């Protein structure tokens, strides 16, 4: 009788273990998946930015200035596209090429002449606050649904920002008052022959 009870207990314990394993496996199959939307509203970027050089304090300050110039230019025409930072240049260029974003803050020199035909390039900054500094532009994908609208808005907003003096104010806040060359704005305007 004792042997039968022990066998019965072992059999019952085995079934309980199997039941528990089956139940826990089923629970995993129906567990909710973690997604960005669970942590608030998910926002898709309209414009990407990437680091132009190795990460250091001076580059980080210039990256911040570039984002401020773009945001202020759009704000001048009451637009507020979503900006995001992409650490890798290649990934950012791929997102622009693939139509995942409308525009990219970057250097026109990063694009071959053949590639540039796909984009509208609006130069808005000369690196280091120098009149002869390397160009930084907002590069718009012409085939993106909002690319044309955003490029026109940015062009108009940048003009307003420069005309109001706010553009130079932002640069001097970043670079220091009196550090910009006197011909800085004229040098920038030379990149825009269509500006009057």
DSSP-assigned beta bridge partners for residue 105: 49, 138
Chain-centroid distance, C-alpha 111: 18
Q: How confident is the model at residue 140 (pLDDT cuts 50, 70, 90)?
A: very high
Among the listed residues 50, 98, 73, 39, the one whose alpha carbon sits nearest the alpha carbon of residue 152: 73
How many Å apart are CA 121 and CA 128, to the nearest integer?
A: 20
Helices (H), the chain: 2-29, 57-75, 89-97, 113-116, 147-164, 166-175, 184-189
Average pLDDT, rounded, for the chain? 80
- Any bridge partners for residue 50, and if so which? 86
Examine the pLDDT at 84 and tell me if it is beyond 70: yes
Q: Order of strands across the sheet with 83-86?
A: 83-86, 47-50, 103-106, 135-141, 119-126
pLDDT at 194 over 90: no
State residue 24's pLDDT score.
Answer: 53
Q: How confident is the model at residue 7 (pLDDT cuts 50, 70, 90)?
A: low
pLDDT at 119: 92
Say if residues 137 and 124 touch (Cβ distance below 8 Å): yes
Give the model's pLDDT for residue 52.
64
Q: What is the DSSP letter of 36?
A: G
Confidence of residue 118 (pLDDT cuts 50, 70, 90): confident
pLDDT in tens, 148-157: 999 999 999 9
pLDDT confidence band for 29 (50 / 70 / 90): very low
Question: What span, in angstroms and rounded, lies between the C-alpha atoms of 106 and 165?
Answer: 24
Query: Which of the four pLDDT bands, split at 50, 70 and 90, describes residue 102?
Result: very high
Region of 162 on the Ramachandran plot (φ > 0 left; ψ -120 to 50 alpha; else beta) = alpha
């Amino acid at each position: 009788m004792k042997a039968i009870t022990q066998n019965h207990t072992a059999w019952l314990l085995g079934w309980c273990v199997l039941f528990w394993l089956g139940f826990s496996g089923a629970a995993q199959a129906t567990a909710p998946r973690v997604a960005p939307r669970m942590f608030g509203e998910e926002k898709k970027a309209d414009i990407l930015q990437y680091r132009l050089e190795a990460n250091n304090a001076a580059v980080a300050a210039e990256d911040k200035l570039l984002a401020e110039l773009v945001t202020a230019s759009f704000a001048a025409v009451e637009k507020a596209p979503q900006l995001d930072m992409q650490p890798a240049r290649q990934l950012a260029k791929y997102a622009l090429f693939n139509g995942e974003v409308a525009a990219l803050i970057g250097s026109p020199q990063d694009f071959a002449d053949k590639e540039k035909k796909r984009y509208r390039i609006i130069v808005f900054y000369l690196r280091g606050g120098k009149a002869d500094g390397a160009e930084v532009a907002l590069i718009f994908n012409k085939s993106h649904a909002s690319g044309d609208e955003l490029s026109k808005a940015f062009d108009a907003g940048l003009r307003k920002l420069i005309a109001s003096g706010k553009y130079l104010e932002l640069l001097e806040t970043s670079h220091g008052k009196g550090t910009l060359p006197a011909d800085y704005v004229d040098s920038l305007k030379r990149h825009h022959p269509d500006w009057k």
